[in-house]
């Protein structure tokens, strides 16, 4: 069970080579197969996650949630998807057409690219990149541009205000996000995510870096535009933020990308702080799924518990609290490593 998917890939690769393909072409085909699998997993995940979020929100508000379509209402999201696919596609006549149409595609592409570096098990990643963490942070921050494109291209005051808010929020939370990951990089001495997982063989980094874990969690919530930091699409004030003018599948692509980002960030959190795919008894790819879903449930819990906070509080919290705390954490980690070496423990 452990090496199930790795063996499957090896079998496929061997079969392709036996067909007479040169190794380079076999690798290319294998890469495409991996990509198709990643995209399938993402789509299935989103169908489950939207249903789960509706059920979890119902649980928090003492309701039942969707329960008419299928057992526990699991086909609800499929009905929604069919409806969204067949809705009319409206492009406002005053919109900047090219930017308006590219923004959702850009958003989803950026979100899917995050999955390239996440280790989904022992020896299971699309590309084993030696700067994986840096890649993740830099690609993750690109989604700001997609939101700005959506807000600007829509030519709508609500969209533009939502976009400006989201840019301000995401740029300022980018800094504590990267800083809180630096402590982990200092301890493990590598930006490669597989190395970071391997460095947690004895002790998870959540125990060595509790402050970084908390700052990363808060910054990631803001980065994902999830509640209580969902200022960019604050429905009660901005009617829908940057997504105001989008209909049907274009809007659904934004939604899809947000959930894709959620899964990616949760998986990174499980990888960096919670020991990645390591765990007893169960195969590694199952462990990362369990940990990722655990983190996602905490995200849901936070969203449905706290009310949305004010924009100025949000910004001052980032610059006055999170940035100093995460900087202090780097200092503390450095001092700790120096102390550890001086004592001869590591």
- By beta-carbon proximity to other proteins, the closer residue of 73 and 275 is 73
Q: Write each residue from 3 to 42 as x if it is in contact with other proteins (CB under 8 A), else as -, in one continuous string.
A: ----------------------------------------
Q: Shortest distance, CB of residue 268 to other proteins, whole angstroms?
A: 29
Does position 97 interact with other proteins (CB under 8 A)? The reply is no
Cα(117)–Cα(103) distance, rounded to whole angstroms? Answer: 24
Cβ contact 163:150 at 8 Å: yes
Among 152, 205, 213, 251, indicate the residue that binds other proteins (CB under 8 A).
251
Does position 258 interact with other proteins (CB under 8 A)? The reply is no
- By beta-carbon proximity to other proteins, the closer residue of 78 and 203 is 78
Measure CA of the first residue to CA of the last residue in the chain; give whole Å.
Answer: 35
Cα(135)–Cα(289) distance, rounded to whole angstroms? Answer: 22
Q: Shortest distance, CB of residue 68 to other proteins, whole angstroms?
A: 5
Cα(249)–Cα(230) distance, rounded to whole angstroms? Answer: 21
Q: Write each residue from 169 to 208 as x if it is in contact with other proteins (CB under 8 A), else as -, in one continuous string.
A: ----------------------------------------
Cα(245)–Cα(250) distance, rounded to whole angstroms? Answer: 10
Closest to 112 (Cα-Cα) out of 167, 178, 46: 46
Q: Shortest distance, CB of residue 84 to other proteins, whole angstroms?
A: 8
- By beta-carbon proximity to other proteins, the closer residue of 135 and 254 is 254
- By beta-carbon proximity to other proteins, the closer residue of 27 and 237 is 237
Closest to 191 (Cα-Cα) out of 137, 256, 247, 115: 137
Does position 157 interact with other proteins (CB under 8 A)? The reply is no
According to DSSP, residue 322 is labeled I
Cβ contact 26:13 at 8 Å: yes
- By beta-carbon proximity to other proteins, the closer residue of 34 and 303 is 303
Q: Shortest distance, CB of residue 153 to other proteins, whole angstroms?
A: 14
Touching other proteins, residues 62-91 (CB under 8 A): 62-69, 73, 76, 78-83, 85-90
Among 48, 58, 302, 337, indicate the residue that binds other proteins (CB under 8 A).
58
- CA 68 vs CA 47, 74, 75, 77, 224: distances in Å: 16, 9, 9, 12, 30
In sequence order, what DSSP letters do the residues of 95-130 get, joined into one string? S-HHHHHHHHHHHHHHHHHGGGS---STT--S---T
Does position 248 interact with other proteins (CB under 8 A)? The reply is yes
- Where does this chain touch other proteins (CB under 8 A) — which range of 104-112, 194-202, 241-249, 287-295? 241-249
In sequence order, what DSSP letters do the residues of 201-255 get, joined into one string? SSS-HHHH-HHHHHHHHHHHHHHTT-TTS-GGG-HHHHTTGGGTT--HHHHHHHH
- Where does this chain touch other proteins (CB under 8 A) — which range of 109-117, 161-169, 210-218, 238-246? 238-246
Among 1, 18, 20, 236, indicate the residue that binds other proteins (CB under 8 A).
236
Q: Coil, strand, or helix at residue 22?
A: coil
Q: List contacts with other proteins (CB under 8 A).
A: 54, 58, 61-69, 73, 76, 78-83, 85-90, 235-236, 239-240, 243-248, 251
């Amino acid at each position: 069970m452990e090496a199930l998917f790795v063996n499957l890939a090896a079998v496929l690769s061997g079969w392709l080579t036996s067909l007479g393909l040169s190794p380079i072409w076999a690798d290319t085909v294998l890469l495409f197969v991996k990509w198709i699998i990643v995209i399938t997993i993402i789509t299935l995940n989103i169908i489950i996650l939207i249903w789960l979020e509706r059920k979890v929100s119902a649980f928090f508000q003492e309701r039942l949630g969707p329960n008419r379509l299928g057992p526990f209402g699991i086909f609800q999201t499929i009905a929604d998807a069919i409806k969204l696919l067949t809705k009319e596609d409206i492009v406002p006549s005053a919109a900047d057409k090219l930017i308006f149409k590219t923004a959702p595609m850009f958003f989803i592409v950026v979100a899917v690219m995050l999955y390239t570096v996440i280790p989904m098990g022992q020896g299971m990643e699309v590309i084993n990149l030696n700067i994986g963490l840096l890649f993740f942070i830099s690609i993750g921050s690109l989604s700001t541009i997609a939101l700005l494109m959506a807000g600007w291209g829509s030519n709508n005051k609500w969209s533009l205000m939502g976009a400006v808010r989201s840019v301000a929020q995401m740029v300022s939370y980018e800094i504590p996000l990267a800083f809180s990951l630096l402590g982990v990089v200092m301890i493990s001495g590598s930006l490669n995510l597989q190395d970071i997982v391997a460095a947690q063989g004895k002790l998870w980094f959540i125990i060595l870096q509790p402050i970084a874990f908390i700052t990363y969690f808060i910054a990631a919530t803001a980065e994902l535009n999830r509640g209580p930091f969902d200022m960019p699409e604050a429905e009660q004030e901005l009617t829908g933020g940057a997504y105001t003018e989008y209909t049907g599948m274009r809007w659904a692509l934004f939604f899809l990308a947000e959930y894709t980002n959620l899964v990616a960030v949760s998986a990174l959190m499980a990888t960096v702080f919670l020991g990645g795919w390591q765990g007893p008894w169960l195969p590694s790819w199952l462990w990362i799924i369990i940990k990722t879903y655990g983190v996602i449930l905490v995200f849901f819990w936070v969203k449905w518990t706290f009310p949305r906070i004010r924009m100025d509080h949000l910004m001052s919290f980032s610059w006055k609290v999170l940035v100093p705390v995460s900087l202090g954490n780097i200092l503390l980690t450095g001092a700790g490593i120096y102390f550890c070496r001086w004592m001869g423990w590591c």
